[in-house]
Structure 1
Amino acid sequence: MRVHQMWNAYPALKTDLSQVLELIEKHIRVRDKTVETTIRNLVHSGGKLLRPAYSLLCSEIGPNNNKEKSIAVAAALETLHMATLVHDDVIDEAETRHGNKTIHTNNGNKFAIYAGDYLFCVCFTILSRHANSLAHLEFNARGMEKILSGELDQLNSRYQSTVSVKNYLSRVSGKTAQLFAVSCYSGAITSDASRRQAMLAWNMGHYMGMAFQIIDDILDYQGTSDTLGKPVMADIRQGIYNLPIIYAMQENQEAFKPLLSKGDTLTDEDLEKLMDLINRYQGVEKARHLAKRYTHKAIAQIKKMPKGDYREKLLEITTTLLNRNV
């Protein structure tokens, strides 16, 4: 199974992630072979597998690391993540992801919605067979509810230039940080971690998810189409105003109004003007500063965890993700 090259430095973890993909693929059985092939291709589309990686590392926190169970939980969580991405792409009308055409672009919205729904089913099939308890299953169900609420908040806030930093952070907490937190927490409890240890994992995942999404949003302004796998400033084009532009608008709301009032008719020239304004009012710098604060909080949680090789890996990976450019 092909696993992202970022895991080459961690051979044991890379092997476990390969098993995660194998388990997901094992559960994909659809009568319609076009749907089945499409979903299998999605599984191997080049995602970084960050959430299952964090889950697997956190499964070493407690005294009883059950490899089969931890891989199953990681697989369920990655399947949940893929399902939300398929639906996100439909809502956002995104044409590409990881440089590949999205499912709805190739096959239409109805096909994509079915594929996403099927992945939700795979997630809970895997989880129900390996969850520690019904309480664990319920916890993940509630986690998914918050993730979907975050997506709904983003949808409802499109083209609203009055979005505040608080609104943005609340959206990110549900949309991205929740799944990181659930992944880390679920990994920890598969190893019979104590309540305190599991909550350290939860908090670390939350802070990591906040930092990760903020940096992802920064890259929407600084990257290229080739590195991002999607058009530059794609979020603004879709009316999604993220932290860099929110910070910049705090300094001079009036300067942005003539451009943002154009909604989905923004031209490339308009986007250049917006980028000039964001740079003038240091939106990206302020966003990166907040991402660093969340990353430092995540690292502080990691340092409170029991010593072990997994802890050093968490520190390395978390620090690397803060400094990523793609």
Structure 2
Amino acid sequence: MARTPRGAMGLFLALLVVAAASPAAADPPPGRYPQLVGLTTDVTDNLTEGLSGVLGTDGSLIGGWASGGGGAIQTRPTGCVFPRPVNGPEALAALRAANGEFGGVFHGVDITGCVDFLSTTTAADVPGYTSIPYAVDAVTYAINQDSDLPSNLTYTQLQRVYRCLNTGFGGTPVTPVLPRVGSGTRAFWLSRMGVTEADIAAGDYPCLRTVDGTVPDNDGAVLVGHDDYLMPYLVSRYVAQAGSATILASTGVTVADRRGPAVLGSVDNVSPTTTGGGLNRALRPELRRHVYTVLPNTKLLYEPYHFLFVADGATVCRQRSTIERFGFGYHGCVYTP
């Protein structure tokens, strides 16, 4: 990719600075530039913000800029103004560019040295990078609280619903709903349901509904007025939304409560949450996934990366109360060189 000419770059950066004036909710506050710059996905944004508040002084050690939402971000006090990644794959591309790949260029901007790590639910399957799990997330289905659809389904029943083989239960029709195109939750759910985007594009599953592209994932407003809708919902996000008042009071982090009329369903008679309201790690493994810190291999043995993310008993991995408060399951430090 060619670098942007110097004159054009100046105008481009000026426009981006204006766009960056309205940061995403999970970004560090304007003017705060942590020592280690992270990029996050729409799953890990609030968790990274919470971890930032308990590590270092006033969020000065780590911070994460959220993917999605458009506009631009600035990750260092000078320079490092670039387009906000739209999703997890783009965030990984930005991390790679910042650490010397692609000529250091991301969307036409040289971002060398502008990003240090990535927090995501997808392991980086590229040479030169290590994905270190530190928490657990899960996905289940949600329905309207007034719906007559079953509050418990088998994994096979869910797959049949999303393959348009089961159109109702006991006389109650069911409409399987998918998050917006490009969503990480959508990709994960489709992989578990045995459906591909190519199949959908070919018209093989006409019963599927996709929400409007402007609607965020894990938003119960989708279910308003639709007792027939069934859709995937992140357990971590639901738990955090339910505890949004406590999270704000204890951490200062704002989590928008978007549950609306949504209630989570059990799968194979296993509730997605524990009696205490946290994520239930007993959900079948197909519905669980790890949360990772992705680092360039060149930084694994150097401080502060090593003691924060890599070492036996790494600092980030030990933040059990914060990890669970934001709706994730505790995983501990399991990195093996």
TM-score (norm 1): 0.29
Which of the pair is proportionally richer in helix?
Answer: 1
Which of the pair is proportionally richer in strand?
Answer: 2
TM-score (norm 2): 0.29
